[in-house]
Amino acid sequence: MHATYTWSVISSNGERPGLHNQAELAYRRLRERLVGGHYHPGDRLAESALCADLEMSRTPVREALRRLQSDGLVVSTGRGVVVNSLSDDEIRHAMQLQGALDTLAARLAASAQRDGLLTPAQLEGLREAARQVERSAGAADARGAWRANLDFHMMLGRLSGNPLLVDALDRVWARFAIISLANISRRTTLLPARHDAIVTAIADGDPERAAEAAAAHVHEAERAHRARSGT
């Protein structure tokens, strides 16, 4: 069984949240719901409803919404705060950045394997994450395939050993998570992502081949997006 990637919502110090911690907790809970598909692009996030749902006052909820707006996940409009969508250009930009990060992550992970820094359990976790994508796609489980794909790419980032890269991947995935999940949920057929070449190159400790496989995977995803969007 592979580890599922989650956005943590629990305070690390275990203390009872004060005003500042309440705002952080509100931010993390709302962010996880946004990237997890609880809301859809264009949904209005009524402040009063959020306060009731989170059992918090308006102050921490407002602060959380301001941070989410800075993240690009929500936007303030004439009818209030709504869940953000992305234009085709914004999706293309996000995919370009994610591709560059994935390529670097694959190269670093393969270098770590070559240098004896990865454990067999870590490699098996990556293999299992890749298998889960294919199982979910084969079962026409759109949400499961999306989640498994996220797990794979975030695990790839962690195997790079670079925490800044992991943070950057987290941010870029969050930016287009909402729209990508909405799109995949409307598709009648699912094609499994081909991660095998990336995993094999990393297991072989071959940084160049791993980077090439990751880049090829991203280019395939970009072509599929252009075909779906007609751009």
In tens, the pLDDT along 183-223 reads 665 554 555 567 999 999 999 999 999 999 999 998 887 88
Is residue 196 in some structural domain?
Answer: yes
- Burial class of 229 by CB neighbour count within 10 A (0 to 12, 13 to 18, 19+): exposed
- Which CA distances in Å does 28 have to 7, 58, 62, 63? 7, 16, 13, 12
Q: Give me the DSSP letters along 2-17.
A: PPPP----S-TT-PPP
**Are 34 and 110 contained in the same domain?**
no
**Are 134 and 68 contained in the same domain?**
no
Residue 100 has pLDDT above 80, yes or no: yes
What angle in degrees, to the nearest 10, is found between the helix axes of 163-186 and 58-71?
90
**Are 108 and 195 contained in the same domain?**
yes
**Are 118 and 65 contained in the same domain?**
no
Is residue 5 in some structural domain?
Answer: no
Is residue 8 in some structural domain?
Answer: no
**Are 52 and 97 contained in the same domain?**
no
Helix, strand, or coil (residue 141): coil
Q: Pick 178 or 55 by higher pLDDT.
A: 55
**Are 93 and 178 contained in the same domain?**
yes
Q: How many CB atoms lie within 10 A of CB 21?
A: 14
Find all residues with CB under 8 Å of 43, minimum gap 6, and list them.
Answer: 82, 83
**Are 199 and 106 contained in the same domain?**
yes
**Are 46 and 93 contained in the same domain?**
no
Question: Which residue range(s) make up the domain with 157?
Answer: 88-229
Which amino acid would we find at residue 15?
E
**Are 158 and 221 contained in the same domain?**
yes
Domain of 41, CATH number, reads 1.10.10.10
Give the global pTM.
0.81
Please, which residues bridge with residue 76 across strands? 81
Count structural domains, the chain.
2
Of 83, 117, 132, at which residue does a domain stop? 83
**Are 39 and 143 contained in the same domain?**
no
Is residue 45 in some structural domain?
Answer: yes
Domain of 169, CATH number, reads 1.20.120.530
Q: Is the distance from CB of 156 to CB of 126 less than 8 angstroms?
A: yes
Of 41, 64, 83, at which residue does a domain stop? 83
pLDDT tens digits, 9-52: 333 344 344 556 999 999 999 999 998 888 888 999 999 999 99
pLDDT tens digits, 105-146: 999 999 999 999 999 999 999 999 999 999 988 888 888 888
Q: Is the distance from CB of 106 to CB of 198 less than 8 angstroms?
A: yes
Of 59, 83, 107, at which residue does a domain stop? 83
Is residue 9 in some structural domain?
Answer: no
